[in-house]
């Protein structure tokens, strides 16, 4: 995969995941005070959609995404690639934990609703941070690779 293909692929992946994240964030930042039955159902669906999309993406990244070409271009980045792979596992574990909490919510829960919303926001922040690290690593891998070949 060329650098241009990887950049285009990452942009598309990040943009697609951001759509799911925005929908989830919209629900998590506005829990209603009154009847929560419909809101909880919507939160569960949006969380599940986001979680499934993130799992698919991380699996693709590891299978045939940018990780292998980064190491091929810059073998010295192998430790950083390994760190990102470990973070994929950690993100999946966080998703599982938050997902259990979200799916256990009932309309009468007050503190648990706030706790789930905070945990969702934390998860979304971790994903954004992870994506920033991916972008920086790809830019570094290919920018340095380009300098070495000139």
- Taking only the tens place, the pLDDT of each residue in 82-126 is 999 899 999 999 999 999 999 999 999 999 999 999 999 999 999
How far apart (Å, rounded) are the C-alpha atoms in residues 136 and 72? 16
Print the domain residue range for 71.
3-149
Domain count, the chain: 1
Instruction: For the chain, give the mean pLDDT.
Output: 87
CATH number of the CATH domain containing 18: 1.20.120
**Torsional sign, CA 104, 106, 109, 110:** positive
pTM: 0.86
Helix residue spans in 29-110 (DSSP H): 37-64, 67-73, 78-104
């Amino acid at each position: 995969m060329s650098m241009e293909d990887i950049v285009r692929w990452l942009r598309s992946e990040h943009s697609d995941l951001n759509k799911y994240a925005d929908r989830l964030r919209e629900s998590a930042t506005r829990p209603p005070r009154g009847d929560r039955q419909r809101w909880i159902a919507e939160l569960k669906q949006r969380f599940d959609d986001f979680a499934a999309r993130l799992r698919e993406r991380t699996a693709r990244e590891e299978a045939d995404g940018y990780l292998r070409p980064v190491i091929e271009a810059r073998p010295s980045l192998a430790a950083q690639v390994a760190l990102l792979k470990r973070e994929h596992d950690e993100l999946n574990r966080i998703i599982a934990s938050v997902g259990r909490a979200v799916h256990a919510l009932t309309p009468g829960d007050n503190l648990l609703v706030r706790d789930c919303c905070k945990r969702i926001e934390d998860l979304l922040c971790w994903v954004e941070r992870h994506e920033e690290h991916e972008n920086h690593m790809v830019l570094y891998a290919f920018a340095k690779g380009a300098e070495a070949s000139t």
